[in-house]
Every structure is written in C-alpha cells, then in structure tokens.
Structure 1
Amino acid sequence: MDWMLEDLASSVPETRDVVVLSSDGLCMSQFGSDEDTADRLAAACAGLQSLSAAIASEFPHGDGQMQLVVIEVSGGFFYLMAAGAGAYLAVLADSGVDAGLMGQRMRDLVARIGQHLTSPPRADGQVP
C-alpha cells in the first residue's frame, strides 16, 4: 500500500505526510513521516473521527458517519477521510496545497483501494 500513498503525495504538490489508520488510532501504513510522527497523527485522528461522528449524528437524514474533515491551521491543512469500514486516510499538507486537488486525489485513492483499507474490529485486543 505504501506505493499508493507515495503516489498520492507525489501527485499533489505541498503534501507532507500520508497515513492510513484504523478507527482505534493505530497506524496501518504511512508515507512521508517517521514512525513516531505517523503514530501521533493516527492517535489524534481517532479522537477527531469520534468527535466528527458525534456531530454527524445530529443530522437527521444522514447515517451518522464522518466522511471528510478538513482543518486549516497556520502553515497548512489537515485532511481526514473515511476509507473503508474502520479505516481512515489522513493527510498533512503545507499551506500552498490545492485543496480541491487533494480532496479529489484522496477520493480517488479511497475508491481504488477502499476495500483493502478496511480494518476489522478487534476482539479482546487481538487483530483477527
């Protein structure tokens, strides 16, 4: 999967880090960052996706699922996208990134490999 994450990063200028994570905050794959950075990002994303799901549940005609979160901070952007059952795609990009292109490339990647990004629920702390 690493080459697909690299493809996303190289196709969108200003991309810094790409991480695939499970809903419980474990890094499943990464590109552009060291292991510690990817682990911290994945852990933070777990909290953010939980908060997003709580907000999504307030919409009466939706299914309560988070689809995409974009956060702009000084210096760049953060993107978090649902990427399959129990899996998410996270990207950090510098401030010059083309936001529309990033969203499109992330959707394309999820559509291509979404079923491979699924993270099954853990049973008693064990991965099946």
Structure 2
Amino acid sequence: MIQQRTNMDWMLKDLADSVPCLRHIIVLSADGLRMAQHGTCTDTADRLAAACAGLQSLAAAVGQEFPEGDGRMRLVVIEVSGGFFYLMAAGARAYLAVLADEGVDAGLVGQRMRDLVARIGEHLSTPARKGEVA
C-alpha cells in the first residue's frame, strides 16, 4: 500500500499543478479510508475522506430515483461560501475528491479530474472489504 500511495502522489501533484486554486486533493476508498493526499495534512484528509463516504452514499440513494440509470454516483459538486468541493468516482470503490478556492475555473477542475480518472482509474480501485457488496 505504501508504494501505491507514493505512485499516486505524483499523479495528484500533476492535477494540482495543472489547475490554479486547488486546495486539497485526496483519493479515498468507498468506506472513507484515505488512500492518498496532496496539499493537505493527514488529519484534514482523513476528515474529508470520512465525509466523502457519507456523501457518496447519499448521492447513490438519490441516484436510485433515476430508473433509467444504474444509480451509481459519478460526480458531486458542492459550491459553498469560499469555494467548491468535487467528488468523482475513480475506479471500483474508489473516489477522487478536490477542494478548490472560489476563484477556480470550475469547468477545468472537472475536466482535469475526468482526465486523471480516465488515465489511472483502474489503479485507484480498491478491493471489496470482507462482507461488503461489490
């Protein structure tokens, strides 16, 4: 796992360097465990990862209201006073989360996150935990 985190560090740094105003970037498992981080301390990354797990669960519940889809959360964007929060599915049971300052180019963030997930999404997947439904 340590090697995986090291490999992800440069990928997350590349995202941060390509989009001005990004504040925190984390990769997390579906159950809210931080897998990698950039631009933030471990405590903040852990809090965000835990919050993201609840948010993706809530988004999936809302997604069930669309019978033509599969109900899976793809992207959640929240605008708050001071900035934006993005949560994107990034492989099986893995997510990419970004917090950005208010002046960020919102479209560019989404595009770069999608590009990163398309390039390395399979490497961001996490195995199902014991007793977890895939």
Q: Aligned pairs, how many?
A: 125
- What does residue 69 of structure 1 align with? 76
In the TM superposition, residue 6 of structure 1 has moved relative to its aligned partner by 0.5
Query: What is the CA–CA distance in structure 2 between the aligned matches of 1:122 and 1:63, rounded to whole Å?
Result: 22
CA apart distance, 1:124: 6.4
Match of 1:104 in 2: 111
Contiguous gaps of at least 5 residues in structure 2: 1-7
Aligned amino acid, residue 54 of structure 1: A
Q: Tell me the residue number matched to 2:3.
A: none
Structure 1 counterpart of 2:42:
35
Partner of 1:93: 100
Gaps of 5+ in 1: none
TM-aligned CA deviation for residue 116 of structure 1: 0.3
Q: Deviations over 1:12-58 (max 9, x none)?
A: 00000100000000000000000000000000000000000000011
Aligned to 2:4: none
In structure 2, the residue corresponding to 1:61 is in which secondary structure? coil
Q: How high is the TM-score relative to the length of structure 1?
A: 0.96
Q: Which runs of 4+ in 1 moved over 4 A?
A: none
The amino acid that maps onto 1:74 is S
Post-superposition offset of 1:115:
0.3
CA distance in 2, matches of 1:105, 1:124: 34
Shift of 1:99: 0.4
Percent identical: 75
**2:48 paired with 1:52:** no
2:110 partner amino acid: G
Q: Once superposed, what is the RMSD of the aligned Cα atoms?
A: 1.1
User: Given the two structures, how large is their TM-score scaled by the length of structure 2?
Assistant: 0.91
1:18 to 17, 25, 42: 25
